[in-house]
Amino acid sequence: MQPADFAFDLPPELIAQAPLVERSASRLLVLPRIGDVPAAGQPPGELRDLGIRDLPALLRAGDLLVLNDTRVIAARVMGSRPTGGRVEIFLERITGEDTALVQMRASKPVRPGLEVATAGGPVQVQERLEGLWAVRTPGPALAFFEAHGAVPLPPYIQRAADAADKERYQSIFARDPGAVAAPTASLHFDADLVARLDAVGVERAFVTLHVGAGTFQPVRSEQLEQHVLHREQVVVGADVCSAIARTRARGGRVIAVGTTVVRALESVALQLGEGDGTLHPWSGDTRLFIRPGFEFNVIDGLVTNFHLPQSTLLMLVCAFAGRERVLAAYEHAVRQRYRFFSYGDAMFLTPPTTIPHATQI
């Protein structure tokens, strides 16, 4: 397959430039499994235009929501060369106490040995690694970026970050700092929605995947199998492995909240899985590129935002729910004026037919 197989037309005005006043006010487009019993008055397989507040009605006691508890770092720092030229430093990942891998934008080429002056002190450029720059920060790297950085809004948001973004470009579950982009499906959850899910009997568990800036990089190869995905850090602990095992035993479904959760769980399944959705604790780096033809081992459902045309995230969604079905749903979303991308609306998807490990429901 080629990237062009995942193209769609999107009017620019549908790209959400700011969050809604309330997190759980977002819309939710539901793409049911073929053969699912429809809601009253709807034909089988019909798309449903709902709201994220309807999610508790789509789930049931015994289901498990798995979320990403990564916390977004204030990753964008402005600096200058000794000659006065402007330099933008964009964190990719922290590698040590006072070291990091970053992207750098400047009017003139960056070279090893360059010292960039910032409000927090000089940042020293060391070497080029994997298309990024290894740098040394003036003191602990995490503290440096948190003190002197700005919220790293995605490139399609055409405004500067403001004070509201510090809270809204962060999920209520954010705990472990390390991401430079938000796991955006989690942004729809607020305390009221969580309480209603608890009342239904839906459980929660967490993985950590530190989302890198590479999540916004386009696929540059015409053949998908030649594309190498960016590296991201993953931690899947014993608690989530146990929660998934309990869910399987009681006949519940494992619902991933976001594509980052899918990549984390399915990466571990490939590393240590037993082919039936059973997982074991694991931490490490993943470059798993999920595209049509991938066999899912863990998840039964997915809550996710709408993704960029021809992106690896859209390819993952198409792999799970079927390319034609997903692209048709995107066309519907455009007609119905859904809001797209990070601050936009969401979808709830199940696979076209039952997958091997899934409970028959």
Share of the chain above pLDDT 90, in %: 83
- The strand pairing partners of 27, in sequence order, are 51
What pLDDT is attached to residue 230?
Answer: 80
DSSP string, 93-145: EEEETTEEEEEEEESS---TT-EEEETTEEEEEEEEETTEEEEE-SS-HHHHH
Alpha-carbon distance of 37 to 125, in angstroms, equals: 59
- The strand pairing partners of 133, in sequence order, are 102, 128
Share of the chain above pLDDT 70, in %: 93
Alpha-carbon distance of 343 to 81, in angstroms, equals: 34
What pLDDT is attached to residue 297?
Answer: 93
Query: Residue 228 pLDDT > 80, yes or no?
Result: no
What pLDDT is attached to residue 90?
Answer: 96
What pLDDT is attached to residue 354?
Answer: 56
What pLDDT is attached to residue 117?
Answer: 97
Alpha-carbon distance of 310 to 168, in angstroms, equals: 26
Closest CA to 236 of 63, 64, 66, 65: 66
Alpha-carbon distance of 222 to 63, in angstroms, equals: 39
Query: Residue 49 pLDDT > 70, yes or no?
Result: yes
What pLDDT is attached to residue 95?
Answer: 94
Cα distances (Å, whole numbers) of residue 187 to 46, 49, 102, 344, 346: 26, 19, 25, 10, 10
What pLDDT is attached to residue 89?
Answer: 97
For 76-149, CATH number? 2.40.10.240
| Identity of the residue numbered 110 | V
What pLDDT is attached to residue 115?
Answer: 97
Query: What's 21-76 look like in SS3?
Result: CCHHHCEEEEECCCCCCCCCCCCCCCCEEEEHHHHHHHCCCCCEEEEECEEECCCE
Query: Residue 191 pLDDT > 50, yes or no?
Result: yes
Written as six digits, the tokens of 270 are 């490939």
What pLDDT is attached to residue 35?
Answer: 55
- The strand pairing partners of 29, in sequence order, are 49, 347
Domain 3-72+166-349 of CATH type 3.40.1780.10:
yes
Q: pLDDT of 108-154, one tens digit each?
A: 999 999 999 999 999 999 999 988 999 999 999 999 999 999 999 99
Whether 3-72+166-349 and 76-149 share one fold: the answer is no
Alpha-carbon distance of 93 to 163, in angstroms, equals: 23
Query: Residue 323 pLDDT > 70, yes or no?
Result: yes
What pLDDT is attached to residue 218?
Answer: 73
Among 18-27, 246-255, 350-359, name the one with the lowest average pLDDT.
350-359
- In sequence order, the 6+-apart residues with CB closer than 8 A to the CB of 57 are none
What element of type H or E holds 159? none
Closest CA to 125 of 149, 100, 143: 100
Q: What is the mean pLDDT of residues 59-81?
A: 97
What pLDDT is attached to residue 227?
Answer: 75
Strands 121-129 and 132-136: antiparallel
More confident residue, 276 or 324: 324
Q: Domain coordinates of the chain in residue numbers? A: 3-72+166-349, 76-149
What pLDDT is attached to residue 336?
Answer: 98
Alpha-carbon distance of 218 to 311, in angstroms, equals: 6
Query: Residue 290 pLDDT > 80, yes or no?
Result: yes
What pLDDT is attached to residue 356?
Answer: 47
CB 269 within 8 A of CB 298: yes
- In sequence order, the 6+-apart residues with CB closer than 8 A to the CB of 355 are 296, 300
Mean pLDDT of the residues in the chain = 92
DSSP string, 322-350: -HHHHHHHHHHHHHTT--BSTTS-EEEE-
Among 93-97, 274-278, 311-315, name the one with the lowest average pLDDT.
274-278
Written as six digits, the tokens of 99 are 């070291």
Query: Residue 186 pLDDT > 80, yes or no?
Result: yes
What pLDDT is attached to residue 232?
Answer: 93
Q: pLDDT of 8-44, one tens digit each?
A: 999 999 999 999 999 999 999 999 876 555 555 555 4
Query: Residue 295 pLDDT > 60, yes or no?
Result: yes
